[in-house]
Amino acid sequence: MPSHRGPLPRHATVYVAGHHGLVGSAIVRHLRAQGFANIVGARSGEVDLRDPAAVRAWFDRTRPDVVVDAAARVGGILANSREPVEFLSDNLRMQLNLIDTAHAFDVEHLLFLGSSCIYPKFAEQPIREDSLLTGALEETNDAYAIAKIAGIMQVDSYRREYGRRWISAMPTNLYGPGDNFDLQKSHVLPALIRKFHDATVAGADEVVVWGTGTPRREFLHTDDLASACLFLLENYDEPGPINVGCGEDLEIGELARIVADTVGYRGGIVFDTSKPDGTPRKLLDVSRLTGLGWKPTISVRDGIATTYRWYLDNEDDIR
């Protein structure tokens, strides 16, 4: 498929790595809605992305024209703190195999998805893309962040050495249908939905939320991220990361109250200050992306409401 920036041919074979996960499933939904008819993906049990031979065999069978790397080992503060080796090693192996194999099979279009945790813990807010590598990382997820930084460097290295027009996008905190609601592994928003739902069902008098409630976070619905991914593939061609977010943040305490209201919880909220807060604030500067003409469309309140409805519809499977 010839190199270009503009609408991707809807007959192109698009490989969404991690197609069954939170991010990948949203990208698949959006691509289908936009008319893409040949989207391929494989579960980890079918293709182990940590195995270079398995990845090469998959590319040989599918011959993708476009690769979206949404595959990653992900988790919240607790999971990242307990398993830094796995978060570093697994993510490095997966993205190295995917990106190297994409080059070997002459894939013209590739989008690598990272995370806003690549930026320094105390970066100036809102965080610009040029803040990368200017300070120390948040220690609770530094292993994961280093892996994602390496992915950006790998993409840029292929741009420099081989002229690949590949790109890297860094989303803010994500949520939506298909999220992980396991309290031991989930991120803050799905964990709050699970906690407040369980408390409501049990008639509990209070819900305990980790930390002080004062850190500020930005949240983007995965359907908005999926829209941004296709937009970038068709309109963007620059090295380095480009931020993807909504440009607004809120305190975790306020987020907890929104979730409680959405779920219908009427008890008290207690903040466990013995637990870590993580980065004090993490708001992305999304002016580069919005300057290209893209904007999100789903508010946090509306997004939480639809995510909770999905949770209720799938509660038996989740548990």
**Confidence label for 277 from pLDDT (cuts 50, 70 and 90):** confident
21 is in an annotated binding site: yes
pLDDT greater than 60 at residue 32? yes
**Closest among 222, 201, 165, 184 to 21, alpha carbons compared:** 222
CB within 8 A of 297, min separation 6: which ones? 224, 227
Of the pLDDT bands very low, low, confident and very high (cuts 50, 70, 90), residue 319 is: low
Average pLDDT over residues 115-134: 95
For residue 43, CA distances in Å to 21, 46, 115 come to: 9, 5, 22
Q: Which of 259, 260, 233, 250 is nearest to 15 (CA)?
A: 233
| C-beta separation of 297 from 290 below 8 A | no
**Greater model confidence, 81 or 258:** 258
Q: pLDDT value at position 317?
A: 81
Q: What is the pTM of this model?
A: 0.93
Residues of the chain with pLDDT > 90, as a percent, come to: 84
Q: Per the annotation, does 126 bind a ligand?
A: no
What is the average pLDDT value for the chain, to the nearest integer?
A: 94
116 is in an annotated binding site: yes
29 in a known ligand binding site: no
Q: Is the pLDDT of residue 278 over 80?
A: no
Give the per-residue pLDDT at 2.
Answer: 38
Out of 119, 144, 236, 308, which one is annotated catalytic? 144
144 is catalytic: yes
**pLDDT tens, residue by residue, 155-181:** 999 999 999 999 999 999 999 999 989
The CATH superfamily label for domain 13-178+219-247+283-298 reads NAD(P)-binding Rossmann-like Domain (3.40.50.720)
Ligand-binding annotation for 22, yes or no, is yes
Q: Residue ranges per domain, the chain?
A: 13-178+219-247+283-298
Mean pLDDT (whole number) for 271-298: 93
**Confidence (pLDDT) at 280:** 83
**Per-residue pLDDT tens over the stretch 85-115:** 988 999 999 999 999 999 999 999 999 999 9
- Determine whether the annotation assigns residue 18 to a binding site: yes
